Structure 1
């Protein structure tokens, strides 16, 4: 799933490609992807792109006052084409969900792999008209997201586990499964530690890790073509998706906790005092 760093890199990429361009046409291939009906996709046709914004994991494109907003969900991606086919695509079972064609013949496709269709597209008069976007928590890279802001978030979360708090888009926008693993590893904190149980030192490490891990990932990603971002993300991860590999800090094998539809990775040596965390999927089966 693209998270804040990759979406920020996409925003930068699209800013360079789209600013000043005119939308010639759109082609909706996965009809379930379009979540709004007040404005049709045709409202974008003939409009000029003036701005591309990021809200958490959402991209919002200003097209002459109408906004094309999309969320790539778990299996979605954006593919840029310097030359789009002149013939419209045909709806089918393929991954293509939406095609946006510019007046110069270039454009981008929004695609989604797998059987679960969660990629979401909105055409609205204001990005805040998108319900999920309007409920987002603060951006962790915003200037106002300081140590005190994080402290207030953790206090309000109570005994909720750090992993879940970091991933909750209503609490902090943009961090998902992968970067929450990376942040907690950098901060040397257990993913199951209660949010309100951090010492001052642990709080400082967590705040530094949030800013540091996200900014480092953005620095690695911004400036790359859209097609390179998935590979760059995977290369840059130190614990997420690396079960069984040695931790590059202490050498302990990376461990995993599995859930019904996801998993987390952590280093027992760095984060849990050498103790393995209970596998929640297995624990549920044993009850």
Structure 2
């Protein structure tokens, strides 16, 4: 029997508290001691007028494209708030970035027509390039202030893209540089990041406290976009998941620990 690959490791999770459960479960299955220190949270918008107007015209769109589970949840909430139901999703073709976003749609009874495995906007643009998007209206509900890669890429393919915010990401309240200092005073082996915003807000706390990650602490990122942000913020990245998913991140960290656990056991 192969022992847990992360036994004795202390691993910090920085993703939103409400979404930390799956990562915690997989890390603990590998033997890690997990510390939740969310650097961000998903927050509602002050004004939903733009997305509500888009929902009223949903039949005018050929495609509805989601970039995250949060986007699916927030859009479905607005559908219901407007007196509509998830059946409305069947009026358009659906696109989704990554398996988790696709699964969120499937839980509402709708399978996306396009869903690349890689959880990056560039992968969805590549997949959508196989479709005829010339003149097609595309609705893109997503986080406020998200990257321009996806809408710009779809427009380059000839699509008419409407971007509407449905939620925002903000720093997790209640954390202080003092709390972070106490966390880092312990023997932390790894800090995990699953989004660029989680990196930026964690590094901002470091800066406020005049702190640096200990040299022995490994920075582990869910994919290349998050890793690039970490490097831009001055962090040394030790692990980047090959599969840009939560299980992929745990697999990559287990590899880094030097004891590969069979893929099935990590999922």
Task: Give TM-score, length-normalised by structure 2.
Answer: 0.28
Q: Which structure's residues are more often helix, by fraction? A: 2
Work out which structure has the larger RCO, using CA pairs closer than 8 Å and 6 or more positions apart in sequence: 2
Task: Give TM-score, length-normalised by structure 1.
Answer: 0.27
Larger Rg, first or second structure (1 or 2) = 1
